[in-house]
């Protein structure tokens, strides 16, 4: 099973700041990585797939990069609606697994 | 518009069974794999099971293998999760999620979740 490790666990930021979240895989997953956003009491929402392709309707301030074992999700200018928990998920092999999440909170 | 609506959750005693359902609309159900993902209170996301579009392939997390069974009825646009021998650690919000293709990759639509509480 591939282990996905996200860092940091919590990020305290101010609106308007640039945010970078990290996700590492225990072995190479090529570009087979997705990112999700989850707000309190809501279901997760797909943000990014293929490591860098934005899902339908996702604002351009969200971008993904990386390949192999190291990936990042960047939010260029954090807006109030972006405070949430972010999860990465690999789909390179079975079973698919999620990272433990990074909470982006208001500073 | 795509909708996924889960039902069937509730409070159940350890060792008992429960069946979750997920009724879908807004897409051609039998073209897509479907998944169950759960989230324990205050915790992260855990993949539970995947069923391919034609039910030929089904996968389970080790934590539920042998106890949970996933099935689908393409005529009813519905997904099911039969949960037997439930344990307190199965307590979670259970989401059904749609895959982007016929077999398991990532999830582009999610239901709102259905809470299962296993407690005596």
Which chain B residues touch A98 with a CB distance below 8 Å?
44-47
How far CA A44 is from CA of A86, B11, B90, in Å, comes to 9, 24, 20
Q: Which of helix, strand or coil describes residue B99? A: strand
Distance from CA of B45 to the nearest CA of A (A): 6
Cα end-to-end distance, chain B, whole Å: 40
Nearest of B22, B51, B48, B20 to residue B116 by alpha carbon: B20
Partner residue opposite A96 with nearest CB, options B47, B111, B112: B47
Contact across the interface for A91 and B108, Cβ inside 8 Å:
no
pLDDT tens digits, one per residue of A38-91: 999 999 999 999 999 999 999 999 999 999 999 999 999 999 999 999 999 999
Q: CA B35 to CA B65: how far, in whole Å?
A: 15
Distance from CA of A19 to the nearest CA of B (A): 21
- Give, for all 120 residues of chain B, the pLDDT tens digit: 999 999 999 999 999 999 999 999 999 999 999 999 999 999 999 999 999 999 999 999 999 999 999 999 999 999 999 999 999 999 999 999 999 987 878 999 999 999 999 999
Q: What are phi and psi of A64, to 5 degrees?
A: -120, 150
């Amino acid at each position: 099973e591939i282990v996905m490790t996200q860092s940091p666990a919590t990020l305290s930021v101010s609106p308007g700041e640039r945010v970078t979240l990290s996700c590492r895989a225990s072995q190479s997953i090529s570009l087979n990585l997705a990112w999700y956003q989850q707000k309190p009491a809501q279901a997760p929402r797909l943000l990014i797939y293929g490591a860098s392709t934005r899902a339908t309707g996702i604002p351009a301030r969200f971008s993904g990069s990386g390949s192999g074992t190291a990936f990042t999700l960047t939010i260029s200018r954090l807006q109030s609606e972006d405070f949430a928990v972010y999860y990465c998920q690999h789909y390179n092999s079975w079973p698919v697994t999620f990272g433990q999440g990074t909470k982006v909170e208001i500073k | 518009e795509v909708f996924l609506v889960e039902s069937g959750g509730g409070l159940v005693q350890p060792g008992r069974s429960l069946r979750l359902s997920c009724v879908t609309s807004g897409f051609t159900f039998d073209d897509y794999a479907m998944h169950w993902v759960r989230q324990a209170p205050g915790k992260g996301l855990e993949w539970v099971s995947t069923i391919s579009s034609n039910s030929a392939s089904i996968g389970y997390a080790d934590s539920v293998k042998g106890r949970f069974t996933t099935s689908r009825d393409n005529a009813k646009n519905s997904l099911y999760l039969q949960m037997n021998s439930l344990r307190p650690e199965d307590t979670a919000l259970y989401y059904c999620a749609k895959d982007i293709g016929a077999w398991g990759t990532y999830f582009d639509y999610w239901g709102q979740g259905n809470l299962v509480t296993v407690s005596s």
